[in-house]
Amino acid sequence: MGKSWSTSHTTNLKTVLTHCKDNSWRANTGLSITNMLSLGRAQTIYALGGLLFLFSTAIANVEKTIFTAPASLPIPQQKPSLGDLRLPILTPDAPSIRTHISRSFPSEPKDYASGVATWVLLDKLNQGQRYEFRVCWAAVQPTGFDLGVYELDTVWQTPELIQSLASYSFSRQDQEARLIEESTQTEGREREASILLLQIKASADYFTDDAALMKDPSPVHVDLILDPYLYGIVPRSLVPAAGYLVLVGAVAWFVSRSIASKLQTIAVTTDGANKKQN
C-alpha cells in the first residue's frame, strides 16, 4: 500500500465514533470413516470416496475468502484509535474467535449481501503474505454469508461502508469489556502494522412455520478463523489433515496388498490341491 497514517484517517475515525454517539439517543427511545482394511483396490477406492464425502460435507458449512496482506503503515498513539471502534480482532497469534453474529432474512432469495453486517479487524498481518479467512457454522443454523475485505482507505472513501462500520461499532460500545481493556493497554505505543477491515454479512437461509423465528432470526454461532498460507500454496491448518490422509492412504495400500497376496497364495494352494485330487 505504501501509505502512512494521515490526518484523514483520524478524521474518519472521529466521524465513525461521532456517528455512534449521535445514534445513542435513538437507542434510548426506541462419521465414522469407511473401513480402510480392504481386500482389494475397489474397496480402497470406496474408502477414499468416503473421505471425500466427509470433506464435502464439512465444506458445506464453511464460507471463506482469500487475500494478501497490504503494506504496513504507522498507527499513531493519539485518540481516536482503531481500538475505539471496539471491533473483534484477529491476528496471526490469536487467529480464531468463537462467537455469535446477528442475521436477518435477505431482501431477495439468496441475496446474502443484504444481510446484517459484522466487522472484524485483521491486525498484525505479515506484509505480502497470503491469508484465508473462514466462517464456520453448524448445519442446524442454515445461514448465507457474504464476505468482503477492505483496506482502510477504501472504507473511509465509501459512504456505505463507513456507515455500516459506524452502526456496528455503536452496537458494541457497551460490550466486550475484556477486549476494550486489552486494547486500551496498547494505545500508548505507536507501531507499524499491516491492517485490514473485514465485513461479514449474514442472512438467515431457512423457512419454518414458527412465526417468531421467521420474524426475528436468532444469532448464528460461528468460528471466525484467520489462516495463513504456507509458501502461498496451502493454508497452514490443512497441513496436518493432508499428512494424515497420506498416512492413512499409504497404510491402506500396503495392508490391501498384503491381504491380496495372502488370498492369492491361498487360492493357488487350493487350486493345486484340487488338481492333485483329480
The structural domains of the chain, with segments of one domain joined by +, span 7-30+62-237
In this prediction, what percent of the chain has a pLDDT beyond 90?
36
Residue with cell 502461498: 232
pLDDT band with cut points at 50, 70 and 90 for residue 77: low
pLDDT band with cut points at 50, 70 and 90 for residue 33: very low
Contact at 8 Å (CB) between 193 and 109?
Answer: no
Average pLDDT over residues 190-212: 88
Judged by average pLDDT, the poorest of 19-28, 83-92, 236-245 is 19-28
Using CA atoms of 255, 256, 257, 259 in order, give the dihedral in degrees to the nearest 10: 80
Name residue 134's amino acid: R
Res. 178: pLDDT tops 50: no
